[in-house]
Each structure stands twice: as structure tokens, then as C-alpha cells.
Structure 1
Amino acid sequence: MEKETRIERTRTFAWEDPMRLMEQGKAMSGFEYLKAIQHGTLPPPPIACLIGMELVEVEEGRVVFTGRPAEYHYNPLGTVHGGVAATLLDSAVGCAVHSKLPLGVWYTTIELKINYLRPLTAETGTVYAEGKVIHVGGRIATAEGKLIDAAGKLYAHATTTCLVMRS
């Protein structure tokens, strides 16, 4: 049996030291941190470059990411992989929570529920993932999100539960 040649993955995106960026982020509220990413003062995380998403709106308790489904997002069935929609929605709902957190307070997703309503394709065009906070408490936060196209057609919606953590 012939041995397979494995291709080693190389770093594709130049991103500053994540620990240094986290330290910068700890000096800001969640809202300030997200605004810095939106305005380019801080770089977007590599996942944004990989998926092709952009943080376009940031308010306290609400954020919007855009993405443009492409053929390279396709699964074997010829539609955009559900993980792309999940990533857009997880980012939107999580960052909506982050936008409400004060200095020194972070979050992590502990649950994400998505309902897929129709497939995304390269012909869908730009989609908008909007996340809105439902509740932020001392330990738990919840948010909801929707994924729509430019005409307002709903492709998926989601809810999240996040764990709130203090430094």
C-alpha cells in the first residue's frame, strides 16, 4: 500500500499575537473593543477573513455582520455549508452580548440554536447577520439573531446562551 503524502497547512493570514490583542481588549469595554475592530483600529480575527465576513454595525446590544456566500463555501450538495451561516450568526449574537459588557468582563458561548429555513448559494448575494441582546445578567446572557438577504428574506435565525466571565 502506497503511503499518502500529507500537505502541511501553512499560516495564510497575518494576524498579530492573539495574546497581545486580548490584553488590548481587556483595557476596553466590549462595545469599545468591537468599535475598534469595526473601524480598523484593531484587526479582525482570522475567522472573519476566512469566511469573508465583516462587522458593519455596532450599537450597545446590537451588531450586524455581512457575508457574501461563494462557491468555495459549498458543501457536497451544492449549497453553502450550514457552518457558514452558523459562524455568521454565532458571531452576531455573541458580539451583541459582548457589546453590553463592561471593562474586564468577557463571554463565551455555551449554547447556540439555529433554525435553517432555506439554502444559501453563490447567487444569494450579500447576507446580513443581525444579533440583538435579550438579557445580560451576572453570569448568563442571551441573544437572538437572524440571517437575511438584501431584500429582507430570512434564511436562518438563532438564539444563544453565553457565560459571562470576569477577569
Structure 2
Amino acid sequence: MEQSEAANRLNFLKSFIGKEIEGSPSPYMNWLKPVVLSAAPGSLQFSYVVRKEMTNPYGTLHGGVTAGIIDDLIGATVYSLGLQDAFTTVNNAIDYFAPAREGDLIVAQTTIVKRGRSVINLQCEIFLPAKDRLIAKGYSNMMNIG
């Protein structure tokens, strides 16, 4: 069952390559409006345009939205594996390196660092391609909750 479910979930994501995702099971992802750049088992790459409602009073990407992008994309990465059990975030550790501003295109990419039986450790890097700059990097542990 895991393989066919993984294929279904991965195919759903791949169907949006080059397009804004719609109908995600994550309402937050639908609000973020990412464009899928690539989708492979254990690794996703999405782009986002920083909208006004994603910024702080200084006009830069809000740290909470950055954290939300990281958490949401890491969750989608685990979802794409097609695992029968549900997983939830145990922790997030995020380093912020540079700002992004309203109108900027940012790219986020995930990878699995280590996959155990009950915990999967993943990372997500967010780049500002126009400036070839890493703006944030986060790690998260996702725990099997059955």
C-alpha cells in the first residue's frame, strides 16, 4: 500500500510542476500559493512570491511565514512518501540569514537527513535566486503518531 499511495501523492505534486498548487490537503499550503519546481521521493522544491500579507512592518518576509514555509514543505515531503501512519512536527530549528522583500521570488528545497522508524529528520533551505543568497535554513523532526 505504501508504494501506490506514495506514487499517488507524488503524482499529485508532480502534476503541478511549473504551476501554482491548488487543492492541497494543507490549507496553509493553498494560502502560500507555491509553484512546484520539482518533486521526488524525499525531496521537494517549490517557489513562492513574497506577497504583502507575508511581510512584517519593515516590508521583509515575516520570520513566522518563513518558519511556516519550512514546516509546511517539510510536512509535504513526508506526505509525499505515502506512509500509512501520520507524522507531526516535534520541533523546528531555523537560522535566518538574509531578508526577502515583497515581490521577491524565493525557492525552498527539502531533503531527508535521516529516516528512522519513528522519527524522520529533514532540512529545508530557502534561497533568494535573484541574489544567489541563502535566506534561511531549518531542520525539523517529524514523529510517527500512528
Q: Is the 8 A contact 2:49 2:106 kept in 1?
A: yes
Residue segments in structure 2 that go unaligned for 5+ positions in a row = 17-21
Which letter does structure 2 place at the counterpart of 1:109?
T
Give the structure 1 partner of residue 99 of structure 2: 119
Residue segments in structure 1 that go unaligned for 5+ positions in a row = 1-25
Which letter does structure 1 place at the counterpart of 2:124?
G
Q: Is the 8 A contact 1:148 1:155 kept in 2?
A: yes
Shift of 1:110: 0.9
Shift of 1:48: 2.3
What is the 5 A alignment of 1:1-167? Answer: 29-30=5-6, 32-39=8-15, 43-44=23-24, 45-102=26-83, 104-123=84-103, 125-151=104-130, 152-166=132-146
Query: C-alpha deviations, 1:17-74, integer Å up to 9, x for none?
Result: xxxxxxxxx995345314314416x822322232222333210110112111122222
Which letter does structure 1 place at the counterpart of 2:129?
A
Q: Is the 8 A contact 2:90 2:143 kept in 1?
A: yes
CA-atom RMSD, angstroms?
2.4
Flag the 1:38–1:46 CA change in 2: closer, same or farther, 3 A: farther
2: distance between equivalents of 1:75 and 1:158? 20
2: distance between equivalents of 1:147 and 1:110? 21
TM-score (norm 2): 0.80
Flag the 1:99–1:129 CA change in 2: closer, same or farther, 3 A: same
1: distance between equivalents of 2:31 and 2:91? 23
| Structure 1: 4+ residue segments shifted above 4 A | none
- Aligned-residue sequence identity (percent) comes to 20
Which structure has the larger Rg over C-alpha atoms?
1
TM-score (norm 1): 0.71
1: distance between equivalents of 2:64 and 2:4? 30
